[in-house]
Structure 1
């Protein structure tokens, strides 16, 4: 995968995440470099960003850090192969105290 393809796939994933956050009425902000900061009512955050060198999407949540790599069809956690949107929904639901979905 070259840089152009990585950036296109990462942009698509971030747009899907943003749409889910808007549906769930959860505050978020895009900051410098395309970093997505999701803020919850309790003041906690989840940070989602692309890591171009590794060609991964990284997620930092209260419960830990996660790296997702494109497998040719979706972004999968490098540890347990969970899909990005599934894992992020679980992390966001945990921090929001309510169900959050990105599908």
Structure 2
């Protein structure tokens, strides 16, 4: 994947996360404050805990840091997958956000 393709896919992922936070705030009791600075989004939950999602351009990865740990995702041609477990990005984000919010939350690809 070229650097431009990576940036297009990674930016689309970040935009999707932002939009889905807004949607979840509207349809659930979640209170997720999403703050974007450049290639990084910080999700802040009601208990002040955070999930940080940031782009790692030199590695063409997206990193997610949550209470449960740190995860590195690389695009495999169809989805962003964890480089160790193969778990899909939105599956991990859903699980992590649910833990932070103490509420079942679902983020979806696309």
Verify same fold: TM over 0.5. yes
Q: TM-score, normalization: structure 2?
A: 0.89
Q: Which runs of 5+ in 1 are unaligned?
A: none
Aligned residues of 1:40 and 1:96 also touching (Cα < 8 A): yes
1:96 has 2:70 as partner: no
Secondary structure of 1:95's match? helix
Aligned residues of 1:70 and 1:76 also touching (Cα < 8 A): yes
Aligned to 1:50: 55
1:10 is displaced (CA, Å) by 0.2
Q: How many residues are matched?
A: 102
Counterpart CA distance in 2 for 1:79 and 1:53 is 18
CA RMSD of aligned residues (A): 0.8
1:62 has 2:67 as partner: yes
Aligned to 1:38: 43
Aligned to 2:11: 11
1:101 is displaced (CA, Å) by 1.4
Counterpart CA distance in 2 for 1:23 and 1:14 is 14
Q: Which runs of 5+ in 2 are unaligned?
A: 26-31
The farther-off stretch of 17-26 and 51-60 is 17-26
1:23 has 2:23 as partner: yes
Aligned to 1:85: 90
Q: TM-score, normalization: structure 1?
A: 0.95
